[in-house]
Amino acid sequence: MPSTVPRLSPRLITTNEAASLLRVTSRTIVNWIERGSIPYVELPSGGSRREYRIPEVALLRSLSGNFNLEAELERLETAAAEMTEDEMIDALDDE
């Protein structure tokens, strides 16, 4: 019998998604991974090209500075979840 309890798991993002989030290049993300500067998981690969996934929350927590990006993203996600579709379209049009 399958469980009715929702399964919680970390949100894993690609190197491209991480780069977009932080406004850097994908190569920068890979360089940080290779230096061990940010958390990552490496996917099994059959070839020579490595593929990574980055736990989003862990990535945000690995950043330093005086701005809490993790809290800001949570605030934005909560606000977006409470918006109607029309309000979301209007907000995107304002950008």
pLDDT tens-place string over residues 33-76 = 999 999 999 999 877 888 999 999 899 889 888 888 888 888 88
Mean pLDDT over 80-84 rounds to 83
pLDDT at 8 over 80: no
Between the two ends of the chain, the Cα-to-Cα distance in Å is: 48
Asked whether residue 22 is assigned to any structural domain, the reply reads: yes
Q: Which two tokens stand for residue 49?
A: 């090209």
- Cα gap 32→78, rounded to integer Å: 30
| pLDDT > 70 in the chain, percent | 86
Strand 52-55, strand 12-13: pairing? antiparallel
Task: Tell whether 22 and 41 lie within a shared domain.
Answer: yes
Q: Where are the alpha helices (DSSP H) in the chain?
A: 15-22, 26-35, 56-62, 69-81, 85-94
Task: Tell whether 14 and 60 lie within a shared domain.
Answer: yes
State the pLDDT at residue 7: 64
Predicted TM-score (pTM) of this structure: 0.67
- 36 CB neighbour count, 10 Å cutoff: 8
Q: Domain count of the chain? A: 2
Domain with 81, as residue range(s), is 66-95
